[in-house]
Amino acid sequence: MITLTLRSLRLNDFMGHTSRASFTSITPRQIRVIGVPLDLGQSRRGVDMGPSAVRVAGLEARLEAIGHKVEDAGNIAVCHTEQKKEGAASAKYLKEITATCTKAADLVLKTLEAGKVPMVLGGDHSIAAGTVSGVAESIGGRIRRSVSSDRRTIRT
């Protein structure tokens, strides 16, 4: 659980330990919040509710309270498992995950090009392929937009 106050950040880890960080000299940023409610990259349902839960918990107000300007870009449209047929056992929804990550990468890139900081809320870990790809492209690099890396073995 994260609790933000005007001049400090209070972090509680899973063991109940608390640490405090000071924000007395924070540099205000323009932040664009991007929701990616994707849960196709893992077998347990529910992580698609992450972006909504973080917003309901007051993310925007807490970021603004410490000096940031926040714009919420909403959620990227994601298909649901009930709408698609499963693919191969090792990559059941590869096509859908790739399409979602491509949309996320494009929005992250546009956000950075606009001089804003993207804050991506997920979803499962597969959204990292889109997030990292968008950031890499913004600095002149390019990462192949594919989330099939977990299908590779030592031989491939």
Q: Which residues touch 152 (CB under 8 Å, ≥6 apart)? A: none
Lowest mean pLDDT, pick from 89-98, 110-119, 129-138? 89-98
Position 9 scores a pLDDT of: 47
Domain 26-151 has CATH 3.40.800.10: yes
Percent of all residues in the chain with a pLDDT value above 90, rounded to a whole number = 49
Q: Evaluate if residue 69 carries a pLDDT over 60.
A: yes
Residue 11: both structure tokens together: 């972090």
**Average pLDDT of the chain?**
79
pTM: 0.73
pLDDT digits (tens, 9 = 90+) for 13-56: 455 555 555 556 688 999 999 999 998 887 777 889 999 999 99
Q: What is the mean pLDDT of residues 101-111?
A: 96
Cα 118–chain centre separation? 9
Give the count of beta carbons closer than 10 Å to the beta carbon of residue 92.
18
The residues spanned by each domain of the chain are 26-151
Q: Is pLDDT above 70 for 117?
A: yes
Sheet strands side by side (includes 2-4): 2-4, 8-12, 18-22
* Range in 1-10, 37-46, 109-118 with the lowest mean pLDDT: 1-10
DSSP string, 49-114: GHHHHHHHTTHHHHHHHTT-EEEEEEE-----GGGS---BTTBTTHHHHHHHHHHHHHHHHHHHHT
